[in-house]
Homo-oligomer: A and B are copies of this chain.
């Protein structure tokens, strides 16, 4: 079985690449999917359909275009990794976690100790909490390849 792993959350550090490289180094039977991680392209996704004056509707239009991709990938994944970084609101990551929970999609959170308390509801529905990308890779190796 080949596993599909959706990567959700923070786009300002290289955690995705660390995961991809780690899984590749161990030759894991894993394919990664993700939202568009180019911040500007993502914010302007709706502009492809015509520009908007109003900031709310520009965001709205872009978010829905992006959701075509994210909802499809979440529904097709076997596991999601949901990353919370040090900065920004990151409500989209928590939204993805709730979305996974309701669909019965299993997810692992990836975050530092200092946000344990505000993430308690998100962690309560997770299958695991990892502190580093390397730990996630170890879990993926165990889950997909142990005997």
Contact of A49 among B1, B106, B122, B130 (CB under 8 A): B130
Count of chain A residues near B, Cβ 8 A = 79
Q: Which residues of B contact A65 (CB under 8 A)?
A: 127-128, 139, 142-143
At the interface, is chain A mostly helix, strand, loop or mixed?
A: helix
How far does the alpha carbon of A97 sit from the alpha carbon of B89 in the complex, in Å? 15
Contact of A146 among B41, B93, B96, B122 (CB under 8 A): B41
List of 5 A-B pairs having minimum Cβ-Cβ separation, nearest first? A98-B98, A102-B102, A63-B124, A94-B94, A89-B118
User: Which residues of A pack against B, CB within 8 Å?
Assistant: 1, 3, 33, 36-38, 41, 45-46, 48-50, 52-57, 59-69, 71-73, 76, 78-79, 84, 88-104, 106, 108, 115-125, 127-131, 135, 138-139, 142-144, 146-147
